[in-house]
Structure 1
């Protein structure tokens, strides 16, 4: 399947994973309030640590390893079962540790127990197999169906603030069913094999090498909410969590390319085609800049008028937080290209690990310093600075392998077009005030400004993409006539 089709499928998958909960947010925010939203985010952040230690980087490792051996069914089958059995052992150990934690903790016990379904979901998740095979269609269709049912259940059964446990159960169980449903396709893809202990054991060490950077990434993805809950309150966690979800929705559109490119680059690298690998990366980095910059400026531009009507007046602060966090869309887009699309597929985990560990340490220190005086705003600032440091470190270490000027050659055009789009969006926001109509006008008029300005500045990528789009439209018209 082509990179373009896989990218589209993976964008859909990422958006399904994040947007479907977002669809319910205006309703859930009003029913559960900032305390309920914050309680869900805080307890989930704790459970994510058990998932992290249970999966120990196996999903990323599995994706890459499957890409190496996908042309040999016998080797593919042995690799799959070895990795899966290892994952069952590690997630089983993590679940046992969670039960000990549940016995010790004296608050939110019911919510924690329901959140543990996510650990079971992680155990049966085999989406890494289909991603390594570059077969994203199955993952998208199954998850879309299950999550739509979940949304319907939320509107049917979550009615008051006392229904928080029902909301958490629906989200967790939907994810469990989504992962479990992928097993339907397995007999057509994988054969049964007789495993030896060595077939399982050999995957442990390389998985752990991916586990270290995953710990670091988790620190500034999840520890933010944990520290906010400890040093501030669940209301602040709620404000930050809603802002974080909106930014991640936008971010998923950009980072979807990373999941698509990882197996393609890994397979190309395994064949020794180094120059082709680098060309993939130059194009991918340019595309990431082209797409992430308008999304970054667009988010910052609409946030103040968007948050109060979307989440409810109680969540006005989330608008400010979206503005503060929005630069991570660009920074993570870049680090996704360098880290997940290059360093990880070629096996250079040392640099990748160093960069994310550096970001995690900076994030941890800044959270300690900023949460007290600035609460959720301090966490947002810490997140942005940490992500900036990650990409700076990565660019520094690959400066001899890639021409940095070539990577950034069109950046000034994207930044210029994005900045003027931002000014226009803010003018509309200040003029029309809070309301869904304002957001609609900002989006509908802002996006064309960005693309028109790029045409004026003669952006090569902009011209190519619109050229492809026009060809597709003409093809559809010819077929329909």
Structure 2
């Protein structure tokens, strides 16, 4: 029940993550324009490399290590303060390197200075601790509050293209302040640093570096596309690709919360050598992801051109085709998120590292080959192939670790229902307008048809959902 509760918390927040861009993205796309969006995306992408240096794999490492000792407050406190100390050191190094680097980009210097504050926020980010102890409530409420605040500030202060700098300040400031607000909650959750047996924080450096390497690779093939498009084509192309990618990742957010919630739970089960629990939750997660990701991917591919035309405006008209190409990422990345979390949980970091480095290499090579000839579409194709490479390698590695994938066999029903639903939505498009009302009708009918097909095909997951509701009813 705790896993379900955390999933509901995280999913509720991810719904907010979806709603905020649904309101702000069309507004920013029209007010700032594709060129302004391109500048923001380009400078943010450059900054993320230094954010990665500041993080040094400590966020994922911290989550796992806290999960291992979550029932012992003394050990938990020692791990917490040791990782925080290391975070402060890596942030100081990253900030120094970044502000030396900004001198090379005179045109965007002011934007980079503000974006650089994201690096500073890493020193105060302790959200990994709450994920490790499976306390998602405080993190979700904090994130929700600052998402809403950023939305209100955008609508109040960003009025024309010259307000790009204000928009950048709003986005960065709310992220920085958001990290700081979790600290008051720590007072009752850990022992004071002068009482905890911290030891030498450097001892966490090597194991966190093992997770840093794959994170570098992930960052390269998720951010490099925009940097390469900005350098090889234009910052406008980078902005169009970035907003296409944002649509995918916004929809993906709900599904990937499954992997986020399961990471500490699997890590705790692994620490207790409870293989039965690991197998049970892994099987259920594989099926849950199919149930959610398949209809989302097929539905998005069906409505992509009309949705982008309404959502982003004529300045981003070419993004419709890009979104349709990227739609399979909803399925591919949902599974790579789960499999990556599973590998990290059972200390199979080598498999995780190999998978993402392979994806990085494939992505860079294909970007160099495809972007000059296919532009934005080439970058999208490169992303699909690289993410598929990552997922396949992770499957092979988990299979070696005796993870069972028999639940995939039960997923054919979700695939069939998703295909039929998307065909139905495409047929509906021919008789409804391509405005908000028309898209709403398409979406509601798509959900209805998928649910109806689920009843006809007897989705296996419906049995699990029924059992959960029966358990809740008995407790009440």
TM bin (shorter chain): over 0.9
Q: What's the CA shift for 1:193?
A: 2.6
Q: Report how far residue 377 of structure 1 moved.
A: 1.0
> What does 1:294-313 correspond to in 2, within 5 Å?
294-313=295-314
CA distance in 2, matches of 1:227, 1:470: 52
The equivalent residue for 1:108 is 108
Is the CA contact 1:22–1:245 (under 8 Å) kept in the aligned structure 2? no
- Does 394-403 or 372-381 show the bigger shift? 394-403
- For 1:396, the equivalent position in structure 2 comes to 396
Q: Cα–Cα, structure 1 residues 282 and 470, in superposed 2: closer, same or farther, change >3 Å?
A: closer
Deviation at residue 10 of structure 1 after TM alignment: 1.4
Query: Could you list the per-position Cα deviations for residues 426-472 of structure 1 after superposition, in whole angstroms to 9, with x for gaps in the alignment?
Result: 11223324211121011100012112212212221134325645887
TM norm structure 2: 0.96
Which residue does the alignment assign to 1:147? 147
Looking at structure 2, the residues matched to 364 and 407 of structure 1 have their Cα atoms a distance apart, in angstroms, of 33
Q: What corresponds to 1:339 in structure 2? A: 340
Aligned mates of 2:458, 2:17 — CA distance in 1: 36
Distance 1:405 1:67 in 2: 25
CA contact (8 A) 1:305 1:433 kept: no
Q: Which residue of 2 aligns with 1:283?
A: 284
Question: Matched residues in 1 for 2:258 and 2:290: separation?
Answer: 12
Distance 1:91 1:405 in 2: 40
SS in 2 for 1:432: coil
1:365 match = 365
Quick one: structure 1 residues 90 and 405, their matched pair in 2 at CA, closer, same or farther if it must change by over 3 Å?
A: closer
Checking the alignment, whether the CA contact within 8 Å between 2:283 and 2:404 is kept in structure 1 is no
Work out whether residues 79 and 198 of structure 2, in 8 Å CA contact, stay in contact via their aligned partners in 1: no
- Alignment partner, residue 415 of structure 1: 415
Residue by residue over 1:305-337, the C-alpha shift from the partner in whole angstroms, topping out at 9 and shown as x without a partner, is 111111111112122111110101111111222
Aligned length: 475
Distance 1:375 1:466, change over 3 A: farther
Report whether the alignment pairs 1:243 with 2:244: yes
The question of whether the paired residues in 2 share the 8 Å contact of 1:285 and 1:407 is answered with: yes
Residue of structure 2 in register with 1:205 after alignment: 206
Aligned to 1:12: 12
Secondary structure of the residue aligned to 1:434 is: coil
Counterpart in the other structure of 1:126: 126
Runs ≥4 residues deviating over 6 A: none
Question: Residue 254 and residue 139 in structure 1: after superposition, are their counterparts in 2 closer, same or farther (change >3 A)?
Answer: same
Contact 1:62 1:129 in 2 (8 A): yes
Which residues of 2 match residues 254-269 of structure 1 at below 5 A?
254-269=255-270
Q: Is the 8 A contact 2:335 2:391 kept in 1?
A: yes
Which moves more between the two structures, 167-176 or 242-251?
Answer: 242-251
In 2, Cα distance between equivalents of 1:470 and 1:314? 50
In the TM superposition, residue 154 of structure 1 has moved relative to its aligned partner by: 0.7
Question: Separation in 2 of the partners of 1:413 and 1:329?
Answer: 18
Whole-angstrom CA distance in 2 between matches of 1:106 and 1:172: 20
Q: Residue 85 of structure 1 aligns with which residue?
A: 85
Equivalent residue number for residue 137 of structure 2: 137
Which residue pairs with 1:181 in the alignment? 181
Structure 1 residue 99 and structure 2 residue 99: aligned?
Answer: yes
User: Which residue is equivalent to 1:3?
Assistant: 3
In 2, Cα distance between the equivalents of 1:223 and 1:49?
A: 10
* Post-superposition offset of 1:17: 4.6
Instruction: Using the TM superposition, give the Cα deviation of residue 9 of structure 1 relative to its aligned residue in structure 2, in angstroms.
Output: 1.2
Q: Distance in 2 between matches of 1:242 and 1:60?
A: 27
My pick for the range that moved more, 163-172 or 105-114, is 105-114
Tell me which residue corresponds to 2:74.
74
Unmatched runs of 5 consecutive residues or more in structure 2: none
**1: CA distance, partners of 2:15 / 2:109:** 31
Contact 1:42–1:234 (8 Å) recurs in 2 = yes
In structure 1, what is the equivalent of residue 191 of structure 2? Answer: 191
**Distance in 2, Cα, partners of 1:173 & 1:193:** 28
SS in 1 for 2:144: helix
Deviation readout 1:398-430 (Å, 9 max, x if unpaired): 334447651311222111100011111111223
Distance 1:410 1:437 in 2: 35
**Residue 63 in structure 1 maps to residue 63 in structure 2:** yes
Range moving further from structure 2, 239-248 or 168-177: 239-248
* Partner in structure 2 of residue 27 of structure 1: 27
- Structure 1: distance between partners of 2:444 and 2:352: 38
Maintained 8 Å contact 2:67/2:132 = yes
**Contact 1:19–1:249 under 8 Å retained in 2:** no
Cα displacement string for residues 96-155 of structure 1 (whole angstroms, at most 9, x for unaligned residues): 001101123222111111111211122211100100010011011122112212111111
More off after superposition, 460-469 vs 141-150: 460-469
SS in 1 for 2:430: helix
SS for the counterpart of 1:203 is helix
Query: Does residue 326 of structure 1 match 2:331?
Result: no
Q: Is the 8 A contact 2:279 2:403 kept in 1?
A: no
- Structure 1 unaligned segments of length 5 or more: list them: none
Shift of 1:197: 8.1
Deviation of the 1:257 alpha carbon: 1.1
